[in-house]
Amino acid sequence: AQSVTQLGSHVSVSEGALVLLRCNYSSSVPPYLFWYVQYPNQGLQLLLKYTSAATLVKGINGFEAEFKKSETSFHLTKPSAHMSDAAEYFCAVSGWGGKLIFGQGTELSVKP
């Protein structure tokens, strides 16, 4: 079975500071992992995905994530936060049949 835990339902950073959103997964098979972003009252947009090709994955809007098998983690980072990064972020692991199992989400606030 697969599951995802996102540590911290709310993260607040200052503009220009490092963004770190934490995601730990559990999977009985080699995992495929995803990060999505959701702006208020909108659908989800894919930021990046890990499909075993490389452990450091670069995505859109300057985000990247590193797959660490020993730590069962897939944390999302961005070196310098922008006001436009304020949104909710979801980590997900792929289950059987292409289903996605989502974490609870982390709301990112960016202070000026």
Q: Which is nearer to other proteins, 30 or 112 (CB)?
A: 30
* Order of strands, sheet of 73-78, starting from the edge strand that comes earlier in the sequence: 3-7, 19-26, 73-78, 64-68, 56-58
Q: Is 14 a binder of other proteins (CB under 8 A)?
A: no
Q: Is residue 41 within 8 Å of residue 98, measured between CB atoms?
A: no
Q: Is 100 a binder of other proteins (CB under 8 A)?
A: yes
* Shortest separation between residue 80's beta carbon and other proteins, angstroms: 26
- Output the CA–CA distances (angstroms, integers) from residue 1 to 32, 39, 104, in the order listed: 13, 29, 17
Q: Is 99 a binder of other proteins (CB under 8 A)?
A: yes
* Member of 49, 59, 64, 109 binding other proteins (CB under 8 A): 49
Q: Which is nearer to other proteins, 38 or 72 (CB)?
A: 38
d(CA 26, CA 1): 8
Q: Is 22 a binder of other proteins (CB under 8 A)?
A: no
Q: Which is nearer to other proteins, 17 or 102 (CB)?
A: 102
d(CA 105, CA 108): 10
